């Protein structure tokens, strides 16, 4: 039925690889071209700031699929190749190696790139000891410089910055972490959760300094190495290594140049179609209208990328798809496992089950009687139940939620009963 059709996937990260293999699993018999700009076998990204940085994994252990799996599934993997242009009228993409590929369907899984630190636009940003962490090359460069006694300055108190700090301090590196806001994780968690993680890191030996704005760098005489980080309050931090993690920018330039609708991501409908119905977008670069939250969102999450990839593969092959599920995220720091589900923006109160004095608690973000998001620390059962609450948009009784003697499963049963009565 589709044996003579061409499908091109732009981007060979989690989303791109998953859609390629899911297409085969759903019965797509046509050609699949998977084009990735990295000159390496597609690999997992989350371990880069954790196991790989700690020297506990190898590049081969990070592969999303083994190298021979692509050939076995007749997937044409073009690594180290960029798509330079999309010709929508001819339904063709031009590649950096001069090839032109025809397509009946085009999937954009272009991901994102690190947000650059404005004050590092000169020599500092090109120095070997100044890095962002997004690629295997970045991780390898950082790993080689995590030498006991070296001084690391981490710029940015988000999840990546905290994970790098945790890995480095365990390698006996001196770590200072800077953030412009008044607390770490300020954009994604409530103040009590931020306080828990600040305490966790300080107890491990990380020097956390909030409300700090980096204004410049001192360079070595040959301009090849950063020797110190300068802050607006006059602080000077001598450094052997600097890692910046201040956010992600979606890669939308290719889509924009092709005339597709772009607004903080490539805009897609419920079927993941862009403003051109034969072109779809998934993963970190895609902005969609969430049925769960009733607003436009763009999710930077591996589980979301995989879910959207499977959805697109099913749609292309005419198979039924699952309804949207609550987005979730995770972060491992030291021996503490944090799993988060949902989006907390707009919450008006929090309810804490457990104690933040120990790494064993859940924080529920509510708007009225609706749970928007949940942060769980070492509570896998509550995490899984919370996914159900948010996905099904179950109204909960806050007083019951606030009473830890009432199991979360019982609260869900009560909410379902009330919904059925309505």
Residue 230 has pLDDT above 70, yes or no: yes
Average pLDDT over every residue of 89-96: 98
The alpha carbon of residue 328 and the mean position of all alpha carbons in its chain are separated, in whole angstroms, by 10
- Distances in Å between the alpha carbon of 286 and those of 87, 92, 157, 221, 283? 20, 21, 25, 44, 6
Instruction: Report the pLDDT value the prediction gives residue 421, as an integer from 0 to 100.
Output: 74
This prediction has a pTM of: 0.96
Instruction: Report the pLDDT value the prediction gives residue 66, as an integer from 0 to 100.
Output: 97
Percent of the chain with pLDDT over 70: 100
H or E segment and range at residue 166? helix 159-170
Give the domains, in start order, of the chain with CATH numbers.
Answer: 6-111+251-317 (3.50.50.60), 115-247 (3.50.50.60), 335-421 (3.30.390.30)
Residue 1 has pLDDT above 60, yes or no: no
Percent of the chain with pLDDT over 90: 96
Crossing angle, helix 380-391 and helix 408-421, to 10 degrees? 10
Residue 338 has pLDDT above 80, yes or no: yes
Walk across the sheet containing 100-102 and list its strands. 83-87, 92-95, 100-102
At 119, the pLDDT band (50, 70, 90 cuts) reads very high
Beta bridge partners of 112: 250
Residue 341 has pLDDT above 90, yes or no: yes
Residue 183 has pLDDT above 70, yes or no: yes
| CB atoms inside a 10 Å sphere around CB 88 | 15
At 106, the pLDDT band (50, 70, 90 cuts) reads very high
Walk across the sheet containing 105-108 and list its strands. 75-78, 31-35, 6-10, 105-108, 279-281
Instruction: Report the pLDDT value the prediction gives residue 258, as an integer from 0 to 100.
Output: 99
Average pLDDT for the chain: 97
Instruction: Report the pLDDT value the prediction gives residue 235, as an integer from 0 to 100.
Output: 98
Instruction: Report the pLDDT value the prediction gives residue 422, as an integer from 0 to 100.
Output: 61
Residue 420 has pLDDT above 90, yes or no: no
Average pLDDT over every residue of 342-362: 96
At 350, the pLDDT band (50, 70, 90 cuts) reads very high
**Contact call for residues 327 and 316 (beta carbons, < 8 A):** no
Q: How long is the chain?
A: 422
At 268, the pLDDT band (50, 70, 90 cuts) reads very high
Residue 221 has pLDDT above 90, yes or no: yes
Instruction: Report the pLDDT value the prediction gives residue 309, as an integer from 0 to 100.
Output: 99
**Contact call for residues 342 and 375 (beta carbons, < 8 A):** no
User: Can you say whether the dihedral through the CA atoms of 319, 250, 339, 362 is positive or negative?
Assistant: negative
- Distances in Å between the alpha carbon of 217 and those of 121, 130, 221, 224, 391? 11, 10, 13, 12, 46
- pLDDT tens readout for residues 123-182: 999 999 999 999 999 999 999 999 999 999 999 999 999 999 999 999 999 999 999 999
Q: Which of 240, 183, 242, 177 is nearest to 216 (CA)?
A: 242
Angle at 85 between CA 84 and CA 89, to 5 degrees: 165
The alpha carbon of residue 354 and the mean position of all alpha carbons in its chain are separated, in whole angstroms, by 27
**Residue at token pair 């995490």:** 383
């Amino acid at each position: 039925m589709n044996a003579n059709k061409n499908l091109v996937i732009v981007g060979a990260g989690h989303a791109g690889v998953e859609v390629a293999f899911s297409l085969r699993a759903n019965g797509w018999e046509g050609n699949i071209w998977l084009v990735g700009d990295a000159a390496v076998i597609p690999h997992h990204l989350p371990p880069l700031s954790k196991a790989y940085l700690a020297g506990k994994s190898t590049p081969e252990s990070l592969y999303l699929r083994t190298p021979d799996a692509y050939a076995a599934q007749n997937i044409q993997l073009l690594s180290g190749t960029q798509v330079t242009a999309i010709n929508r009228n001819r339904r063709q993409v031009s590649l950096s190696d001069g090839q032109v590929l025809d397509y009946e369907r085009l999937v954009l899984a272009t991901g994102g790139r690190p947000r650059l630190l404005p004050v590092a636009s000169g020599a500092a940003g090109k120095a070997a000891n100044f890095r962002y962490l997004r690629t295997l090359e970045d991780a390898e460069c950082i790993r080689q410089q995590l030498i006991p006694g070296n001084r690391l300055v981490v710029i940015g108190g988000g999840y990546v910055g905290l994970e790098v700090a945790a890995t480095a301090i365990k390698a006996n590196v001196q770590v200072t972490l800077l953030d412009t806001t008044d607390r770490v994780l300020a954009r994604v968690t409530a103040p009590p959760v931020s306080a828990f993680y600040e305490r966790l890191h300080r107890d491990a030996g990380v020097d956390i300094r909030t409300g700090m704005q980096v204004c410049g760098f001192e360079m070595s005489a040959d301009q090849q190495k950063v020797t110190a980080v300068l802050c607006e309050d006059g602080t000077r931090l001598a450094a052997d290594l600097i890692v910046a993690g201040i956010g992600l920018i979606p890669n939308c330039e290719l889509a924009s140049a092709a005339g597709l609708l772009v607004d903080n991501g490539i805009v897609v409908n419920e079927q993941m179609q862009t403003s051109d119905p034969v072109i779809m977008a998934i993963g970190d670069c895609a902005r969609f209208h969430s049925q769960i939250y009733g607003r436009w969102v763009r999710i930077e999450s591996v589980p979301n990328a995989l879910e959207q990839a499977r959805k697109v593969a099913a749609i292309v092959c005419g198979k039924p798809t699952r309804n949207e599920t609550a987005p979730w995220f995770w972060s491992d720091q030291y021996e503490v496992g944090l799993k988060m589900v949902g989006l907390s923006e707009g919450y008006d109160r929090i309810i804490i089950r457990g104690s933040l004095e120990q790494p064993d608690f859940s924080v529920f973000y509510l708007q009225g009687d609706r749970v928007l998001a949940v942060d769980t620390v070492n509570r896998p059962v509550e995490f899984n139940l919370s996914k159900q609450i948010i996905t099904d948009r179950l109204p909960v009784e806050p007083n019951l939620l606030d009473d830890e003697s009432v199991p979360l499963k019982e609260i869900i049963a009560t909410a379902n009963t009330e919904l059925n009565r309505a």
